[in-house]
Amino acid sequence: MAAVRPVGASSEGVRKSMRANKGRDTKPELALRRAVHALGLRYRVSFRPLRSVRRTADLAFTRARVAVFLDGCFWHGCPEHHTKARTNADYWAEKVEVNRRRDTETDRLLAEADWLVIRVWEHEDPQRAATRVAEAVRARRAGGDAG
């Protein structure tokens, strides 16, 4: 796997755009959290399910062992909405590929530790995604097979 090296922004506009990207509390994440909360579920935010692995779930239901990741369409290569970058295309394509491989590894590591991983795309309807999360959490709490 080739290492992805940081590259300076191609313009001041790109630099400002990159700085504006938030790691948490994005609009899609807040919408999902509100919808899940409205269904009566309580959760941890930005929680590291496995202390030995630097991966943070956007929402975590620790007793049910359900980790929810809300993935951005650009950053995680959404099959529906991902677009190729116009500048530094090779860099960004490699960055997205590294993210995808890390997501797959995260899913595997958490599954091995008896966590259920739910991945939600940023474009998904928050109500539908929240319902999917709630069903999985309630099934796991009841001792059923949720995944």
Q: Tell me the domain boundaries of the chain.
A: 37-53+71-147
DSSP letter at 86?
Answer: S
Question: How far apart, in whole angstroms, are the C-alpha atoms of residue 80 and residue 58?
Answer: 22
CATH C-level class of 37-53+71-147: alpha beta
Which residues, at least 6 apart from 14, have a Cβ–Cβ distance to it below 8 Å? Answer: 87
Give the contacts of 25 (CB within 8 A, at least 6 positions apart): none
Q: What is the pTM of this model?
A: 0.82
Give per-10-residue mean pLDDT for the chain (147 aa): 54 60 82 98 97 96 98 87 82 92 98 98 97 98 69
CB-based contacts of 94, cutoff 8 Å, min separation 6: 2, 4
